[in-house]
Chain A
């Protein structure tokens, strides 16, 4: 069966520090992968998606970046965090038949 792993669950980082969030998928190959952010009380904002290794599409301009070094690995990074980067970050993969499956998320607080 397919599973998606995301870590860490919570993170508190100072302004200006770097960020690296990792997401891995098991039980499937060549998945479409997504990074979303959800601010408190808000909807899901698509940040990046990837349809294959090394293929990254960005949906919004920001100080975040994403990489897909392996088929089932998707990484979200920042060189210098801003206060506005705080939020709930969710990785997801797409199963055409069943929609989208999300990881358990990372709650990031930038202080």
Chain B
């Protein structure tokens, strides 16, 4: 059974801090990975895809470690508006069914 594990948190950080989340996956056949952001009582929205070489989008950096089977999300210079739940997602090659983690809650305080 495929599983994606995340620390539920909450991670409580001050504005301007750097925070990192990890997400471990059990399926060695996983090929595609994504990070989603979900605000309270809203739908999840794609934050970024995770490429094998790692990728960066502004203050956000995503990395993949296939040897240890985890992906990470780094947020630099945290803003109050970054407060949300962050979900990681994996998809195996040829599969239609993604596996979502249960999310990590981030609270950025003044």
Contact = CB atoms under 8 A, between A and B. Distances in A.
Do A and B belong to a common assembly? yes
B89 A100 contact: yes
A63 B93 CA distance: 31
Contacts of A88: 41
Contacts of B34: 99-100
B44 A102 contact: yes
Interface residues of B, number: 20
Interface stretch (B22-30, B54-62, B67-75, B97-105): B97-105
B103 A98 contact: no
A49 B97 CA distance: 8
Interface of A: 32, 42-44, 46, 49, 51, 59, 88, 90, 94, 98-105, 107
Interface of B: 32, 34, 36, 41-46, 49, 87, 89, 91, 96-98, 100-103
B49 A105 contact: no
**What is the predominant secondary structure among interface residues of chain A facing chain B?**
strand
A5 B44 CA distance: 14
Nearest to B34: A99
B96 A100 contact: no
B89 to A, nearest CB: 7
In this complex, the member of B32, B36, B98, B101 whose beta carbon has the largest number of chain A beta carbons within 10 angstroms is B98
Given A43-B101, A88-B41, A98-B46, 19 more contacts: A32-B96, A42-B102, A43-B100, A43-B102, A44-B100, A59-B97, A90-B44, A94-B96, A98-B49, A99-B34, A99-B36, A99-B46, A99-B49, A99-B98, A100-B89, A102-B43, A102-B45, A104-B42, A107-B41
